Structure 1
Amino acid sequence: MLISENSIEVRYAETDQMGIVYHANYLVWMEIGRTKLIKDMGFNYAELEAEGILSPVLDIQASYKKPLKYGQTATVLTWIEKYDGLRVTYGYKILTDTGELAVSGSSIHVCVKKDSFRPISIKKLYPDWHQAYEKNKKEEAE
């Protein structure tokens, strides 16, 4: 299973009045993690979009455990939790600069045609992506 790692320095603009990272910013960091994971597998999401394929979020979940603050560095870990040839579930852990769990989460995506928003089969239309997702997804026994 491939786990992508990204470091993000918490910027002042990402914090709220309490001085901690505003909760919606973690969703942006998850997107950064997904993009990096796809790149680490040898692909480019922007190229997929240029071909008229989008990957909207069907569901997203985040559990907040420990706050991150301005000046800290977050580590975003991203992996493929589940994949069935059509839907992809990404898993996330966002860690504090001391390695403590700040946020855990997941997001479910499906690829669709941009013009019709009809789902496509990654397995059929993008066999190279399919193979990479199969190879790098979390094992059932884990």
Structure 2
Amino acid sequence: MPQPQTSTRFHAEARLRVRYAETDQMGVVYHANYLVWFEVGRVELMRSMGLAYSQLEKDHGLMIAVVGVEVRYRSPARYDDEVAIRTTIAAIRGPVLKMSYRVVRVADEKLLCEGTTTHVVVDRNMGKAILPPAYDAAFRALLEPADGLPL
């Protein structure tokens, strides 16, 4: 059996416990809730970098709009499972950012879901913009390997 691939890039980890309201009639997490969890991961990634998404909006009038999502469901999460959402920067090209996610069950490290989101930095008028230098540098620094921190 092939071993799972891991990345040595820095990642942020957010943990949560599956709430009953997040499950469907089959007793598993409803598929769209993973997208909400991806957002939780994005916000935690920025927070772990010492940046606040709310400040990007407030101080710079910029937003990071989601323009694409790719999700692969691997195994179901169920009510009361504790899950970890591991988020990292996958790529940066001009105003475009790509983030990657792995959602695992904490108890056994079972991969539940993985995916990516593609974002474009926009101003309040939805025109393409560039990240402020401090944000750009912080995101680009995450593209460098950080030994010992598997994604």
Question: Could you say whether these structures have the same fold, taking a TM-score greater than 0.5 normalized by the shorter chain as the test?
Answer: yes
State the SS of the aligned residue for 2:134: helix
- 2:65 paired residue among 56, 60, 70: 56
Structure 1 equivalent of residue 119 of structure 2: 109
Of stretches 27-36 and 44-53 in structure 1, the one that deviates more from structure 2 is 44-53
SS of the residue aligned with 1:19?
coil
Report the CA distance between 1:71 and its aligned residue. Answer: 1.0
Give the counterpart letter for 1:109 in structure 2: H
Whether the aligned pair in 2 keeps the contact of 1:85 and 1:130 (CA below 8 Å) is no
Q: Which residue of 2 aligns with 1:67?
A: 76
Distance in 2 between the 1:44 and 1:121 partners?
Answer: 17
State the AA in 2 paired with 1:110. V
| Larger RCO of the pair (alpha carbons < 8 Å, separation 6+) | 2
Identity %: 33
1:138 CA drift (Å): 5.4
What are the within-5 Å matches in structure 2 for residues 33-48 of structure 1?
A: 33-48=41-56
**TM-align CA RMSD:** 1.1
The answer to whether the 8 A contact 1:4-1:78 is kept is: yes
List runs of 5+ in structure 1 lacking aligned partners: none
Normalized per residue, the structure richer in helix is 1
Listed as ranges, the matches of 1:1-142 within 5 Å are 1-50=9-58, 51-97=60-106, 98-114=108-124, 116-122=125-131, 126-137=132-143
Range with bigger deviation, 16-25 or 78-87? 78-87
Report the residue type matching 1:6 in the other structure. Answer: A
Structure 2 spans left out of the alignment, 5+ residues? 1-8, 146-151
After superposing the two structures, state which structure 1 stretch, 66-75 or 51-60, moved more. Answer: 51-60
In the alignment of these two chains, the number of paired residues is 135
Flag the 1:138–1:20 CA change in 2: closer, same or farther, 3 A. farther
Q: CA deviation at 1:39?
A: 0.7
Give the direction of change, closer, same or farther, for the CA distance of 1:81–1:138 in structure 2 (3 Å limit).
farther
Give the alignment's TM-score, normalised by structure 1: 0.91
